[in-house]
A = this chain, B = another copy of it.
Amino acid sequence: MSTEQATANDSINAIRTLSIDAIEAANSGHPGLPLAFAPVAYLLYAERMKHDPADPLWPDRDRFVLSAGHGSMLQYAVLHLAGYDLSLDDLKAFRQWGSKTPGHPEREFHVPVGDDGKPQPGATPLPLTPGVEVTTGPLGQGISNAVGIAAAERYLRETFGREVQDHRTYVIASDGDLMEGVSAEASSFAGHVGLGRLIVLYDDNSISLDGPTSLSFDEDVEARYQAYGWQTLRVDDANDLDALRAALDAAEAEESRPTLIHVRSIIGWPSPNKQGTHKAHGSPLGAEEARLTKEALGVDPDATFSVPAGVYDQFRAGNRGPAERAAWKERFAAWREADADRARAWDAAWAGKPLPGLQDALRAVPAEKEATRVSGKRAMAAFAPFVPTLVGGAADLASSTNTVLPDAGDYTRDAVGQNVHFGVREHGMGAIVNGLAAHGGIVRPYGSTFLQFVDYMRGAVRLSALQNLPVAWVYTHDSVALGEDGPTHQPVEHLASLRAIPNLVVLRPGDSVETQAAWAAILEDVDGPAVLAFSRQGIAPLPRDGGDDAAWEGVRRGGYVVKEPAEDPAVVLVGTGAEVGVAVDAAALLGEQGIAARVVSLPSWELFDAQDDEYRESVLPVGLPSVSVEAAVTFGWERYVDVAVGIDRFGASAPGTELLERFGITPSAVAGRAQELLGA
């Protein structure tokens, strides 16, 4: 069939009918958004975006984020029609185990399987769903990720040049996305730094899950976004292609402000009985209503998963992406040739790895008696030259968390330095950092605040773990030892709550050397997200039997023996962070009583658990009595020890040393519990 036989309207209706059919087949899903916003998705993928289904990872592609992730079939349908590796069978498997079309868009990469049926070592991981940039669904995250994606593009564009990095980021967002505080934070930041390549299409359908949005949401969204420094535009009917095109023209012409295009739509249009109501939002239309909706669209009500003749051609005919990619490849080759150093930097950046030499630089940082947040500062100064595209910052606490890259400049409206001032916006920071990582090219972006305030950004931390994003979360002031600020600022349950998250490496180094080793492990070894927990208070260098090498090896393995007694140990004392030193002193007290105690530092449960049985047994032998000490709740420590010394209550306002004393985080208290355990 020829292109002439299908129209834009046919393509748009194909998006709608594929969405209806997949949701009916799954008997689960959200038809309202795909029906209403099909014209918008069509324009983006068929006319506007610079993308090439043949290479979904092309670095200079335009990015698309479906912030309203519940409308996943909208994205799957356009990816299929545009020619991505997503078949009709994949659409038929919507929301089924192992399919490429999960309930919400999932950023997930897997190592390709070879002819032997096994994952091929060294092979480039491939996306589960080609064309999906980030996992969305938890409202507000996608639009906020997109801020980070646009920030990454701008950083790379101004660093490497427009020849190789020069694209836009498009978002479809819902009412729910804009009600969430995380999007408010990220949007204010985006306006502040003037991310002109960010274009958000806001689906204003006046309906949310519980009924009309007027139940809870009648603010003036456009005025709010103007207050943030955005350009705002309005399209009164989502089915008006020319109005949408004009708005996109104006958005794309604006380089210094992000743009919000306020699009009024009718949810579930043209479903005769459900459009415009919350019934069209979160449940399948049902067989009869699906038929009636197809009739209203003027398509065969009996056909399912049917794409009319000519639609594929029509959909793809206007895509200038393949030609642009071909041109980009030529430019890129010449660009590489012209400067081998920047080509190497580009390659390292996109491989997500530091330049060679990082570990030597970190090993050269001398041990000091200091807070690990200060050790972290020294680590950043040492590794900065090896991660030229690292971008990160703090939620208005950089001067306390010490997470500034020296001489790297600030990321502002006028300049793209590496240091980002996220403002007092922890959740927004988390989502933006996730976006920086999802874009690619930014090695190990990081976000920083006090450990206490991870609670504010937990939604984003979880999504970093779910997507295996290579980010670092740097949390300082990691115990009650921070002192006078009191229980609102003193973490107690936070280490446990982070350890409970799957696929998140938590590292709490015990002194300055462990801190250097922890940063090295994260930058070199850990694929996914990692948490660093640093102390506010000073910590003396640990006296290690094995010297610094023991720390370097031990941190990578998550735990190791710091001190072994002369005779066979009668008890193992296990600590993390500042409390490894408490364990060392407790062991000395026990030694005075004739009790031989081994001291173990366990900076990372996750890395330790990943070691083989033999190594773990060599550090924490089964059957040897054991006591842990950590200035935090004891929750979870039963996994490793017989007795856990900790703080199973909220903290208090007082000087830090007094609090540790009052809460029993002292060498004598630990020695006493060990003696009790041994019946000594």
Contacts and interface: CB of A to CB of B under 8 A. Distances in A.
Interface stretch (A45-53, A483-491, A665-673): A483-491
Contacts of A648: 502
A633 to B, nearest CB: 6
A109 interface: no
A221 to B, nearest CB: 7
Contacts of A227: 219-221, 223-224, 227
A28 B482 CA distance: 11
A181 interface: yes
Interface stretch (A343-351, A420-428, A589-597): A420-428
B179 A181 contact: no
A494 to B, nearest CB: 8
Contact of A209 (B210, B400, B635, B659): B400
Contacts of A218: 192, 229
Interface string A474-503: 000000000111111100110011011111
Nearest to A216: B423
Contacts of A455: 138, 458-459, 462
Contacts of A216: 189, 192, 396, 421-425
A636 interface: yes
A243 interface: no
Nearest to A221: B227
Contacts of A263: none
A484 B28 contact: yes
A652 B97 CA distance: 7
A274 to B, nearest CB: 15
A151 B98 CA distance: 47
A213 B188 CA distance: 13
A412 B212 CA distance: 13
B189 A484 contact: no
Interface of A: 26, 28-29, 69-70, 95-99, 102-104, 106, 135-140, 175-176, 179-185, 188-189, 191-192, 208-210, 213, 215-221, 223-224, 226-229, 278, 394, 396-400, 410, 412, 421-428, 452-453, 455-456, 458-459, 462-463, 465-466, 483-489, 492-493, 496-497, 499-503, 633, 635-636, 638-639, 648-650, 652-655, 658-659, 662
